[in-house]
Chains A and B, each alone.
Chain A
Amino acid sequence: MLGIVFALLFYAATAILVIGVAAKIRTYARVPAPLKIPTTPAPKTGFGVVLRMAREVIFFESLFKSNKWIWVFAWMFHMALWLVLIRHLRYFTQPVWWWVQLAQPFGTYAAFAMIAGLAGLWARRVLVERIRYISNPSDHLMLALLVGIGASGAATRFVAHTDIVAVKTYMLGLMRLSVGDLPADPILLVHLFLVAVLMIVFPISKLLHAPGVFFSPSRNQIDNPREKRHLAPWAAKLEG
């Protein structure tokens, strides 16, 4: 029974995540940027833009220039999240890829870095007057959700050990559309439920910053307006 409920939940969440994000990406890609607006100095070549974007998404370059505290917490959280996500691939692959194996020892402890980063960001949201001013309830809830996921996930390993082999069997089953049994472990169920919630809210929340950053004209445009004429389709019509 439990297995079926969570199976339905995960199928629905995956569908919403994939379709929702794909639809958003399609819109972002389709809506034209009518003018060249890279924040300069900007790269003059396509390769330069790839490097700029890489520095932004890997090192959070602009955030680093902006505010070292936010940078420390945000970078710690995001990088730890990557490690944790990579580590989690082991529950969806058989045999487990070598590089996932490699991340295993770091991935387990990354959960703590992740929670610490989130805690830092949350503290700033509460304590710094300016950031408190711009925060909506949803901003706090998002942090709560992520902390909940991190804490429950860490608890399945470090507090009340879950039968992880059974979970893996269940997940591998889901991927082949065969629904098995899920251990009735409350912490595990909380963890899985929160993850599903995160997947569902992804396409309707600020989590869209993940795909969105790649479409930000101030960061992804090449600084070559004098050399190459840039014209949006709707603007071309004005020329008649």
Chain B
Amino acid sequence: MADGDTQVPELSFPLDIPCLKRGAMEGTKPFVAAPEHQAKLGYPGTLVPDWKERALAKMKELAEKNRAFQVYLDICVKCGACTDKCHYFLGTGDPKNMPVARQDLLRSVYRRYFTFAGKNFPWLVGARDLTEDVLHEWYSYYHQCSECRRCSVFCPYGIDTAEITMAAREILDSIGYGQKYSNEIIGKVHEIGNNLGLRPKALAATLEGLEEDIEDDTGVTVRLPLDEKGADILLITPSADFFAEPHIDGLIGYAKVFHEAGVSWTLSSYASEAANFGLFIGSYENMREVSLRIRKAAQDLGVKRIIFGECGHAWRVAYSFLNTLAGPFDFLDQNYPIPQHMLEFTWDEIQKGTLRLDPSRNDHIRLTYHDSCNVARASGMGDYPGGQFEIPRNVIKAVCNNYFDMDPDTIRESTLCCGGGGGLLTDDLMDLRVKGAAPRMKALQQVTDEHGVTHMAAICAICKTQFSKVMPKYGYEMDSILSIHQLVSNAIILTGQDTGGDAKDDDTEDAA
């Protein structure tokens, strides 16, 4: 089954617990950031000579600035409840990928320098000195955590390893030992406005091309406006939506929904990115700077509402942090959630009956849905707890007749990460990504066996990219991963669209 050099883990069920394989992932680490990547984010270019003192000073600062950091490091009782909850542990068997063991890599140092027990009885409480080996170990294993929070759900105290990972990465950044992938991308956003480094002209051309595509397909003119002052809605979406399948089909879906809802909307070339990788490196300042672009775009364009496209961690930053980082948004229309998720908008429209939907247009698809971790466990939708699970499913069921959930232990709040989140979606970590995806892939294979599921939908740019890369290793086509708004786009019948001639008829015409 395996291709490439990664051995695809064989699990007998999704949450199959492996035996410990010590050191299995020891050498794994992503490329280190180059000095110019570091500089753009305000970090030292290379490892500073006095790294030890500065790392400890940073640790002290974090303990004083972030309650989670201090409380979580203090109160873990080593009960072991989280040990089998991490997809990277399940996929690799490396004990340092067990959430508590991952925390311990940092906790052991924190104890040594900042607690009575660790200062006086290090051997008793597992405290250790901060050495260069420890530093490299941090770099390796704190880049084997996708900050998915699955462990936090199952810890009796809610200890969130993601918080420790973010803190560790922030410490590493502050001493000049950052990760290339995340830092390079954040630099691009600061400079150009999106992760891909897509300039306004290229963006405009892409959107024009999409308008033509839609017109060719449906005979209806659907606009994808850019930088239009005075529009009601500013759409902020991951830049992958401008660029790659299946993301782009999702963008077409948003445009069609807006069109049918009859609202005026626009994209912004200045804030052309929903993703905010500042989250991944635990940097409040960088996260804030990226978020402020959205505020500025909203003010410059004079919009009344902000809506976010499909992206997991972007939605976490939007839903949970945007108000904090870039608020208050008193200049927007207070009658709508600020910000709103595209699915909230679409579901409202479906309930209002403004959309004409024909779910049979998705009948060639037997679908399951992957709850993205940051949507499931770090944000919400709608006005009730758990809306983030129901609203996407409601929309799916309105546009698709064949829907099947995966094993209940692997969805909703217990959902498994795609394996590529948290700044790990880089080719230099492909081995880890394939292994980390194993539990999710097993759950998918189960519904394929039981219900003949052919496709999986997700609402996260990272999930979609990750799955289109790793699904082939597990025997699926790379286009088995879909955007929810791609399904909406398939099912929607635009006003004035020639309904007699469906896609099938188009084919016949082409053939004729």
Contact = CB atoms under 8 A, between A and B. Distances in A.
B6 interface: no
A130 B285 CA distance: 37
Contacts of B380: 40-42, 223
B324 A43 contact: no
A95 to B, nearest CB: 37
Interface residues of A, number: 64
A178 interface: no
Q: Which of B17, B83, B100 has the most CB of A within 10 A?
A: B83
B75 A206 contact: yes
A39 B377 contact: yes
Contacts of A99: none
A184 interface: no
Nearest to B126: A136
A66 interface: yes
Given A44-B385, A130-B84, A138-B126, A62 B98 contact: no
Contact of A212 (B157, B320, B339): B157
A34 B66 contact: yes
A137 B156 CA distance: 22
Contacts of B152: 39, 218
B177 interface: no
Interface string B72-84: 1011111111111
B261 interface: no
Given A33-B66, A39-B149, A134 B104 contact: yes
A36 interface: yes
A31 B155 contact: no
B284 interface: yes
Interface string A124-147: 110011110111111101000000
Given A40-B385, A131-B80, A230-B323, A216 B101 contact: no
Nearest to A42: B385
A85 interface: no
A128 B153 CA distance: 22
A67 B79 CA distance: 10
Contacts of B346: none
Given A216-B71, A219-B158, A226-B337, A133 B385 contact: no
Interface stretch (B115-123, B228-236, B424-432, B439-447): B115-123
Q: How large is the interface on B (under 10, 10 to 19, 20 to 34, 35 or more residues)?
A: 35 or more
A205 B377 CA distance: 29
A32 interface: yes
B79 A74 contact: yes
B436 interface: no
B270 interface: no
A209 B82 contact: no
Contacts of A226: 319, 323, 337-339
A231 interface: yes
A60 interface: yes
A235 interface: yes
Contacts of A37: 68, 160, 163, 320, 378
B151 to A, nearest CB: 9
Given A135-B78, A216-B72, A226-B339, A31 B327 contact: no
Interface in A186-229: 204-206, 208-209, 212-213, 215-219, 223, 225-226, 228-229
B202 interface: no
B124 interface: yes
B83 A141 contact: no
Interface string A53-91: 000100010110111001000100000000000000000
A206 B77 contact: yes
B77 A35 contact: no
A98 interface: no
A32 to B, nearest CB: 6
B474 to A, nearest CB: 26
Contacts of A124: 80
A136 B124 contact: yes
B63 interface: yes
Interface in B383-427: 383-386, 388-389, 413-414
A191 to B, nearest CB: 23
Contacts of B66: 31-34
B70 A34 contact: no
A198 B82 CA distance: 26
Given A37-B378, A40-B377, A139-B78, A225 B320 contact: yes
A104 to B, nearest CB: 30
Contact of A229 (B163, B323, B376): B323
A31 B63 contact: yes
A213 B158 CA distance: 8
B507 interface: no
A47 interface: no
B243 interface: no
A94 interface: no
A97 interface: no
Given A62-B158, A131-B80, A226-B323, A41 B385 contact: yes
Interface of B: 17, 19-20, 63-68, 70-72, 74-85, 95, 98, 100-101, 104, 115-117, 121, 123-126, 149, 152-160, 163, 284-285, 288, 319-321, 323-324, 327-328, 337-339, 376-380, 383-386, 388-389, 413-414
28 contacts: A28-B67, A31-B70, A34-B324, A37-B68, A40-B385, A41-B380, A42-B380, A43-B385, A44-B384, A62-B155, A63-B154, A129-B20, A131-B78, A131-B80, A133-B101, A134-B78, A134-B100, A134-B101, A137-B123, A138-B125, A138-B126, A204-B116, A206-B75, A209-B76, A215-B67, A216-B157, A218-B149, A218-B159
Given A208-B74, A219-B157, 20 more contacts: A27-B70, A31-B66, A32-B67, A33-B66, A37-B160, A39-B152, A43-B385, A56-B156, A63-B154, A63-B156, A67-B80, A70-B79, A134-B83, A136-B126, A137-B125, A204-B115, A206-B78, A216-B71, A232-B65, A238-B285
Query: Which 4 pairs of residues, A with B, have the shortest CB-CB distance?
Result: A212-B75, A218-B158, A41-B385, A66-B154
Interface of A: 24, 27-28, 31-37, 39-44, 48, 56, 60, 62-63, 65-67, 70, 74, 121, 124-125, 128-131, 133-139, 141, 204-206, 208-209, 212-213, 215-219, 223, 225-226, 228-232, 234-235, 238
